[in-house]
Amino acid sequence: MERTLVLVKPDGVQRGLVGAIISRLEQRGLKLVALKMLWLDEALAQRLYAIHRGKPFFERLIKYVTACPLVAAVFEGEGAVALTRQAMGETDPARASPGSIRGDFGIDIGRNLVHGSDSVENAQPEIDLFFTPQEIYSYPRDTDSWIFE
């Protein structure tokens, strides 16, 4: 089973969409295995988004994700990274499909509600930024036989 990091960014928290976003991912069959609210400091934000360092929007991105608390979660399931990214929709809400998180709730590319790991390779290092192994719970779920073949 794959795991992926999901962050409900500050605009999602401010707009009261945490429950709706988590629910969308659970409804896709993904299992929530870790969850916490935290306020990112600048150092952690810069580590998370290091790939964007030097881009014109980098400083605005760091200011945005450190402006208020966010919610960090780990979801698990077959193809969790791809399923999560599909459920989130395109980064630009104007291009995101209806039915996706950003397509239904997003308004502005700079305030796009959620972050999800972009690859299986990046998922674990991102998860490690936010959670210790003791904070992630593996548990059987009776519905899995009805979700995964």
pLDDT for residue 149 = 83
Q: Which residues pair with 74 in a beta bridge?
A: 5, 34
- Residue 125 pLDDT grade (very low, low, confident, very high; cuts 50, 70, 90): very high
pLDDT surpasses 90 at 138? yes
The lowest-confidence range among 22-26, 84-88, 139-143 is 139-143
- Cα-Cα-Cα-Cα torsion 135, 69, 2, 61, nearest 10 degrees, comes to -140
Question: Scanning the structure block, which residue is given the tokens 């959670």?
Answer: 131
User: pLDDT, tens digit, for every residue of 109-121?
Assistant: 999 999 999 999 9
Number of domains present in the structure of the chain? 1
pLDDT surpasses 90 at 148? no
Cα gap 82→122, rounded to integer Å: 12
User: pLDDT, tens digit, for every residue of 36-61?
Assistant: 999 999 999 999 999 999 999 999 99
Determine the structural domain holding residue 100 and report its residue range: 2-147
Q: Where in the sequence numbering do the catalytic residues fall?
A: 115
CATH number at residue 7: 3.30.70.141
Cα gap 124→74, rounded to integer Å: 10
Q: Residue 58: exposed, middle, or buried by beta-carbon count in 10 A (0-12, 13-18, 19+)?
A: middle
pLDDT for residue 65 = 96
pLDDT surpasses 90 at 13? yes
